[in-house]
Amino acid sequence: MQLSIVSDDGAVVRVKVKGQVTQTELTSSNDPLRALLAGDYSRRVLLDLSEANFLDSSGVGWLLSSHQQFRSNGGALAVHSVHANARKVLKVLKMELVLHIFENEASALDFVRAFQSSSGEAGAAK
């Protein structure tokens, strides 16, 4: 799995995930999103999963943990453009009830721009 910042305009950070989001890529001491953002979970982040072709239970756990970190620190994480294989996993687990998941970047961007730190409500999207 590779994460890269596509853009950062100061208000919104766009992050692209490529490859498999699996246990071998994620450990309790290795959170690639924390490293990429220097631990700043108060940001508004768009997480593009269009090239994340596989997602296992550890990957789902990482998304949930990241979502919670952003909520706890007044930030927002919006997942969008989910690869078909990963989308199946998220759908079976009903992750749309917990995570902010959007069909495309434009919808995710609308969400994070409108996001208020005090809202912290789960499950958006669409």
Q: What is the DSSP string of 10-47?
A: SSEEEEEEEEEE-TTT-BTTB-HHHHHTTT-TTSEEEE
Phi, psi angles (nearest 5°) of residue 60: -65, -45
Residue identified by tokens 């749309």 is: 96
Task: Please provide the average confidence, as pLDDT, over all residues in the chain.
Answer: 88
CATH of 2-114, one of 3.30.750.24, 3.30.420.40, 3.90.1150.150, 3.30.2130.30: 3.30.750.24
In percent, the amount of the chain with pLDDT more than 70 equals 89
pLDDT in tens, 32-69: 888 899 989 999 999 999 999 999 999 999 999 999 99
Task: Show the tokens assigned to 68.
Answer: 């919670």
List all residues 6 or more positions away from 12 whose beta carbon is below 8 Å from its beta carbon: 43, 44, 45, 46, 109, 112, 113
Question: What are the domain boundaries of the chain?
Answer: 2-114
Q: What is the mean pLDDT of residues 82-103?
A: 96
